[in-house]
Amino acid sequence: MYAMKYMNKQKCIERDEVRNVFRELQIMQGLEHPFLVNLWYSFQDEEDMFMVVDLLLGGDLRYHLQQNVHFKEEAVKLYICELAMALDYLQTYNIIHRDIKPDNILLDEHGHVHITDFNVATIVGDSEKATSMAGTKPYMAPEVFQSYLEGGPGYSYPVDWWSLGITAYELLRGWRPYDIHSNTAVEEILLMFRAEKVHCSSTWSKGMVELIKMLLVKEPDCRLSSLKDVQNSPYLANVNWDAVLEKIVPPGFVPNKGRLNCDPTFELEEMILESKPLHKKKKRLAKNKSKDIGKESSPLNGHLQQCLDTVHKEFIIFNRENSVH
C-alpha cells in the first residue's frame, strides 16, 4: 500500500509554490533509503499533481508530542541513530533538507523514523554553500540567521544536525531549548543564541546531555555534523549500526495500531481513506468540462491557462519500477 499526496496546480501557481514542488520531485526521484519517505510514482491530471509515496501509518512525531507521549531516552537514542543515517545518506547526494523537525518525521507501524517533506531542500556543490533563509525558525541553526541578517558566508549540512539536536531535545523534554516562534524577529533570535545556554534535564544520562550539546554547538565547524561524528560519540559506542540500518533494533515507542495516528482532516489522509477518490474525481472533471464549454476566456484566465500549460509540460513523471539505481 502507498500514500498519495496531491497538489492543486492552480493553488500552487497562485502561491508561487510550483518551483518547490518540482524541486521536491527532482530530489526525491533520485533517493531511496530505509529512513526516508520514498517516492514511488508521480503523475498529473488537469487539476492536480500527484506523488505516490511510502505509506507510514504511525503518524508524525509532532502528533505524538501533542498527544502527550513521553518519549523515553532509549527511544530518542534510536531516533538519533536512524536520523543520523538518513542525514548522512542525503549528504552523499549533496542535499541539505533544511526542515528537520517533529512534523517532518513520520513513524512506520513498528516505530522506526522516516524523514519526509523535501519542499525546501536544496542541492549544493562540493564547495558551495546555501544562503537563503529557509526552514522553520525554531529549528533553524544560528548560521542560517547570520547569513540572512549579516551577509555571512552561508551555511551547509551542519544546519540539519542542529535541527536534529533541537528535535531530540524537544522529544525528551516536551519543549524546545530556545523560546523561538515563527514570529520571533531574527535579531532577537541571534541575541538569544549569544546570551542563553542550553539547559538539559537532570534526569537525562550524561551521555545524552553531551550528545545533544554537541549537536547544538553554535559554531558549525565545531558541531557534530556527520554520521562519523555521531558514531564516535561515547554515548553511542555500543550501537550496532548495521542492526540499526536493517531495522533490527526494536524502537522504544510503538504507535497504537488501533488508531489513525493523525488528524483525518488533512488532504493526504483523505486521499488514503476515501473510497476510489480518483474514480470520483474523473467524473467531476468530466462534469466541469461540459459546463465550461462555450465560456469566453478572460485575460486572467488566459494567463492562468498559460501557467497551467507550462506546469503540465514541465511536470516530472516518475515510476520507480522503471528507474535504474
Instruction: Return the active site residues.
Output: 99
Find out whether 215 and 164 touch, Cβ atoms under 8 Å. yes
Find out whether 153 and 129 touch, Cβ atoms under 8 Å. yes
- β-strands 105-107, 95-96 pairing: unpaired
CB hemisphere CA count around 255 (13 angstroms) = 25
Query: Per the structure block, which three cell numbers stand in for 235?
Result: 554515548
Q: Alpha carbon of 196 to those of 38, 189, 191, 237: distances in Å?
A: 38, 10, 8, 30
Find out whether 105 and 56 touch, Cβ atoms under 8 Å. no
Query: Per the structure block, which three cell numbers stand in for 178?
Result: 530556545
Phi, psi of 44, deg, nearest 5 = -145, 160
Q: How many residues does the structure list for the chain? A: 325
Query: Per the structure block, which three cell numbers stand in for 81?
Result: 541513530
C-alpha torsion 235→240→246→248, nearest 10: -90
The closest alpha carbon to 47, from 84, 107, 7, belongs to 7
Distance CA 273, CA 257 (A): 16
Place of cell 492536480: 48
Complete DSSP assignment for 253-296: ----TTS--S-TTSHHHHHHHSSSHHHHHHHHHHHHHHHHTTPP
